[in-house]
Amino acid sequence: ALQRYCQDVYRGQLASVHSSARNEELQKLAKTYNKLLSPWIGAITSRREGKWQSYWEDSSPWNFANWAPTQPLHGITTCTTLSVRNGLWRSRFCYQLRPFICQY
């Protein structure tokens, strides 16, 4: 739904992250908007062909990850937040209302 919101309202999509520099940039950006709530980025973790995988909603290559310890969660399809405190990623239920980062 968020993906659609980015597409429809802003003509973009949820951000994918392919380097630690980009991760830091997005963390800083997020912090300027909301010091408490970590925003959504475009990573989904779900079961595909019998195994758990993470992938970007924009179909870009999965070539970088910055998961917090014990993440990502397996057992239910989850979306991903980027921590405003430390830039680490966490699995979250996709229906939570949070800020989000769109890219163009």
Task: Return the domain boundaries, the chain.
Answer: 2-103
- Per-residue pLDDT, averaged over 60-79, amounts to 96
- In the predicted structure, residue 78 carries a pLDDT above the cut 70: yes
- In the predicted structure, residue 76 carries a pLDDT above the cut 90: yes
User: What is the C-alpha separation between 41 and 103, in angstroms, rounded?
Assistant: 10
Q: Assess if CATH 3.10.100.10 describes domain 2-103.
A: yes
* Helix, strand, or coil (residue 16): coil
User: What is the C-alpha separation between 7 and 22, in angstroms, rounded?
Assistant: 21
- In the predicted structure, residue 25 carries a pLDDT above the cut 60: yes
Q: Quick check: 45 and 53 in contact, CB under 8 A?
A: yes
pLDDT > 90 in the chain, percent: 60
Q: Between residues 46 and 30, which one has the greater pLDDT?
A: 46
Categorize the per-residue pLDDT at 104 as very low, low, confident or very high, splitting at 50, 70 and 90. low
